[in-house]
Amino acid sequence: MGTLHELHEAGQSVWLDFIRRDMLATGELARMVTDGIRGLTSNPTIFQKAIGGSDSYDAAIRDALTDDQDSGPLAVYEGLAVADIRDAADALLGVYESSAAHDGYVSLEVSPYLAADTAGTISEAHRLWNLVARPNLMIKVPATPEGIPAIEELIASGVNVNATLMFSLADYEAVAQAFVRGIRRAADPHSIASVASFFVSRVDNITDAALDKVGSERALTLRGRTAVANAKLAYERYLQIFEGAEFADQIERGAQTQRVLWASTSTKNPAYSDVLYVEPLVGPNTVNTMPPATIDAYLDHGSADGAALLAGMDQAHDHFVALADLGIDFAALAAQLQVDGVQAFADSFAELLATVEEKMRALR
């Protein structure tokens, strides 16, 4: 049986990949912070489930309609989301302050409709940053080709960024270097924080399907291993960039490193352990953002080994050699995952707005 505090002692911060208004109103989030939660992430899918799956938002929607009968679903949703993000940021402010701005962050995503629009992403990120007006806010920006220059510009201007939807070492490299460039341009790097959200479980989903298609005995033995191997190699690169000579001058200026954040850590395949994307990825200066079910699974039967993430690096490299030998183009699979991820969030955003609109109709 593990505790979230044990993970923190091993160097990893646990952030909650979930938000819903009733958990803020009842003090549930505050209790989770006491138990070891050190941050919170959100996305359109999470908000869609929160607003559509409960009546916690009905009173606020009714109030919004009372104030302005002509409000559209986007404006109403934004009001709901901003209020939740502010309350969550306030609940985590003590963590932010006691950790010297290392933890205690709450993430809010720019519209997924802007994933291919650099200028639009920058403008929207600044607008949301100023609207929420909390020092422990992070703006989520996808690591698309158009998102990479936006990440650099936002970091340079002092906006905290959660760079998201990374599936490959190429994605990670682009994000890390954008952060480094941005920090070098920043007037006050001490006040800027960022994480690189590296997605995990979806990698196994798509690679396992490719291995099943190959169908050989060798291919089938590689199933369920790609995601963790991929994450280990990303962490290896993190150490090279941020804990070596390359970033040392910026640390002297007071900059934080851009920690790797493990995202999509719920196990999708029931044949695999429900802590598969937790236990092997424990290591110093990392974040794992977990949905409630994964947190519960870890608390029930997980364990924290601070050396786990660095173990098996040679095998991780060998794994990708084996995939290539089998004719599996992992780079192409990872690129498809990012395209699919952007589309999935766009679909969730559309569903979210439809859910808000339906509630508005009912409450009118």
Would you please indicate which residues are annotated as catalytic (active-site) residues? 140
Cβ(155)–Cβ(179) under 8 Å?
yes
What are the CA-CA distances from residue 23 to residues 88, 93, 108, 158 (Å)? 9, 16, 17, 30
Among all chains, which residue has been given the structure tokens 């190699």? Answer: 233
The angle that helices 28-35 and 73-91 make with each other, rounded to 10 degrees, is: 40
Helices first, then strands: H and E counts in the chain: 17, 8
CA pair distance 254, 223, nearest whole angstrom: 42
- Nearest-angstrom CA–CA distance, 338 and 262: 15
Cα separation of 60 and 272, whole Å? 41
- The CA angle 361-56-89, to the nearest 5 degrees, is 120
236 vs 126: CA distance, rounded Å: 32
